[in-house]
Structures are given as C-alpha cells and as structure tokens.
Chains A and B, each alone.
Chain A
Amino acid sequence: DQQVKQNSPSLSVQEGRISILNCDYTNSMFDYFLWYKKYPAEGPTFLISISSIKDKNEDGRFTVFLNKSAKHLSLHIVPSQPGDSAVYFCAASKNYGQNFVFGPGTRLSVLP
C-alpha cells in the first residue's frame, strides 16, 4: 500500500517556465515532508522541507506548498532550468526524527 504517491511518472517543461511536481499522501499522521532530487548514478540530494505547522516554504527558486486537508503537497520550481532535469522524490514522516516513506518519483525534463 503506497502511503506516498506521485502520480505523474514524468513531466516536461520549457526552460524559464514553472515546473509543478505533485505528491499525495494517505497517512494523516504524516507531518513532516521533504523533497529530494536525484540525478542518474547519484544518490538523492535534499532540496527543501516543510512541516505541518506551515503551508508554504521557499528556498530560492524552489517553493513547497502543503495542503493538509487534501493531504497534498507540491513543489514549484521557477524559473525552470535545464540543470533541474532529474527525478524528484517526495518523502514523508510522522514527526521529526522518524523514518521517511518515499514516493516513486517524478522525472522532470526541462527543455532548452
């Protein structure tokens, strides 16, 4: 049973436009969320986090939005750059320090 879902296996966006990656979760106990980026043949690298006390967190071109009632979060990348082309994983945990459950990932392609 997938507790963290990323229903779009892939996404293509033009350079300079906005990329929106979505993540849904089923466990209402999840209250801490992370986004990771992964290039081929490398390990995932941390991008941005959000806890359930917030509904938005920004870091440069990356913004994560959390809608707790819908059990949905999204990662916005503005403007998208070709170097952003990678697989993006959403991860959730029940609270800080607990283990993370990962989604299956979305492959983002940013076209020049």
Chain B
Amino acid sequence: DTAVSQTPKYLVTQMGNDKSIKCEQNLGHDTMYWYKQDSKKFLKIMFSYNNKELIINETVPNRFSPKSPDKAHLNLHINSLELGDSAVYFCASRTTHWEGTGELFFGEGSRLTVL
C-alpha cells in the first residue's frame, strides 16, 4: 500500500487553465507538504499543513492554493497556469513529534507541463 500517493502523475494543459493535484498519506503523519522541483532540479518547499492549518507559504504566487479536507489529504490547486509553472510537484508528509528520524516521505511526483 502506497504511503504517500498523488494524482495525476502526468498533467499536460494549456496556459490559463486551472488544475488540481491530489495527495493522500496513510502514515498518520501530522504534517504534509508540497515541494516543487524546477528545471534546475532544486526541491523547493511551497506549503506545509499541520493539523489542517497552513503554517508556511514560501513566497508562492497566490495562484497556488493548498486545500486540506483532513490531515491525511493535501491537495494543490493552481489557477491561471503559466508556462513557468511547468515542473514536477512532490507531495510529502512527516511527523514532527519526537519519534523516528522525522524524515519526509515523498509521493512519486506529478509532472505538470503547461503549453
């Protein structure tokens, strides 16, 4: 059973469209994240949610909006897509309590291509 799953894996769309990427984790973690891997391969944090509260927004354009219906899900909605939004988006989760190594568990990634 996949620990962190995100859909779709591939998404091709036109500029100006609105799209969503879904993420679910079955690890019981208290915090979920969205990362963007750009063309230079850097993994940059976009958002994190802890117990349904947004606790970070790293200067991401407000066209991007995370939505968390419950602590097992963190969806990413993107309005008015631009060419520069083309990237691979990774969902991740972790526990921030003092157990284990606190590492991030990543989904497989969603490759977004904006034409």
Contact = CB atoms under 8 A, between A and B. Distances in A.
Whether chain B is bound by chain A comes out as: yes
Interface string B18-48: 0000000000000001000000111111001
A104 B103 contact: no
Nearest to B40: A104
B101 interface: yes
A41 interface: yes
Given A96-B98, A99-B45, A46 B40 contact: no
B48 to A, nearest CB: 7
A42 B108 contact: yes
Interface residues of B, number: 24
Contacts of B106: 36, 43-45
A43 B108 contact: yes
B66 interface: no
Contact of B104 (A32, A41, A42, A100): A100
A97 B102 contact: yes
Q: How large is the interface on A (under 10, 10 to 19, 20 to 34, 35 or more residues)?
A: 20 to 34
A89 to B, nearest CB: 7
B77 to A, nearest CB: 21
Interface in B69-115: 90, 92, 96-98, 101-109
A46 B109 contact: no
Given A97-B96, A102-B42, A49 B108 contact: no
A43 B93 CA distance: 12
Contacts of A43: 4, 90, 92, 106-109
A77 interface: no
A102 B33 CA distance: 14
Contacts of A108: none
B103 A46 contact: yes
A106 B50 CA distance: 31
Interface of B: 4, 33, 40-45, 48, 56, 90, 92, 96-98, 101-109
17 contacts: A32-B102, A34-B103, A36-B106, A42-B109, A43-B92, A43-B106, A43-B107, A43-B108, A44-B104, A44-B106, A49-B103, A97-B102, A99-B33, A100-B45, A102-B42, A102-B43, A104-B40
